[in-house]
């Protein structure tokens, strides 16, 4: 199954220009089997995830993109945000203690929100090496470091606008019907990045 692991929608991400109807429409148009909504520091959509999944006949996993003191993390499997902004290590510990998983979001993007070389020392579950809103060089750097570290890599569009959903995505082995399936698949490392809209360059060989 193919999921876009990094999508923002306007109800809970102020910088997004797409709503859930548009996200789902784009996702189905490009052939995605499921989506992950990862709004900025906001889990507001989480309470409606099951209703959304039924309404649209598509798994909708609600995580969150947390801006830690060190940079952005995609976090899944938590019911509430940490009470204070913490370091990346502390945030990862917070999520893991609750059974969730953490992915380094666009670690080398040039906006001071990536974890950069810190990803080499953190207990991450994966590294986002294919981000649809990040330049090729920065994605390549993330891929190189992930390979050096022996870490699995994911793909996500980081969609904020129409037409971006599915630019990069992640293909999973087996069936993912809900959040528990998703988290277990991440933990088992049964996934690989893919592109549904032809963004991959010759250098970026999807692992």
Q: Per residue in 43-92, pLDDT tens? A: 999 999 899 999 999 999 999 999 999 999 999 999 999 999 999 999 99
Q: Residue 148, exposed/middle/buried by CB under 10 A (0-12, 13-18, 19+)?
A: exposed
Say what the pTM is: 0.94
Angle at 76 between CA 71 and CA 77, to 5 degrees: 135
Residue 204 maps to a domain: no
Domain of residue 142 covers 2-194
Residue 124 maps to a domain: yes
Residue 205 maps to a domain: no
Residue 206 maps to a domain: no
Residue 141 maps to a domain: yes
Overall number of domains in the chain: 1
Residue 112 maps to a domain: yes
Q: What share of the chain is helix, strand, coil (3-state, %, to 5)?
A: 30, 25, 45
Q: Per residue in 94-115, pLDDT tens? A: 999 999 999 999 999 989 899 9
Residue 11 maps to a domain: yes
CATH number of 173's domain: 3.20.20.140
Residue 203 maps to a domain: no
CB-side neighbour CA atoms (13 Å) of 149: 21
H helix and E strand count, the chain: 5, 9
């Amino acid at each position: 199954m193919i999921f876009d692991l990094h999508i923002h929608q306007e109800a809970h991400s102020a910088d997004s220009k797409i709503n859930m109807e548009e996200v789902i429409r784009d996702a189905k148009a490009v052939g995605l089997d499921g989506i992950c909504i990862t709004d900025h520091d906001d889990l507001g959509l989480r309470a409606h995830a099951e209703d959304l999944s039924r309404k649209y006949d598509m798994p909708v996993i609600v995580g969150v993109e947390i801006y830690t003191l060190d940079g952005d993390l995609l976090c899944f499997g938590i019911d509430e945000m940490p009470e204070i902004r913490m370091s990346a290590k502390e945030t990862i510990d917070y999520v893991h203690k609750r059974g969730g998983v953490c992915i380094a979001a666009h670690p080398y993007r040039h906006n001071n929100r990536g974890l950069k070389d810190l990803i080499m020392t953190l207990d991450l579950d994966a590294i986002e090496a294919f981000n649809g809103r990040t330049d090729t060089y920065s994605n390549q750097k993330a891929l190189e470091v992930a390979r050096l570290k022996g870490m699995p890599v994911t793909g996500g569009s980081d969609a904020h606008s129409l037409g971006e959903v599915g630019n990069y995505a992640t293909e999973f082995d087996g069936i993912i019907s809900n959040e528990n399936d998703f988290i277990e698949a991440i933990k088992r490392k049964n996934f690989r990045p893919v592109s549904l809209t032809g963004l991959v360059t010759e250098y970026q060989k999807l692992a």
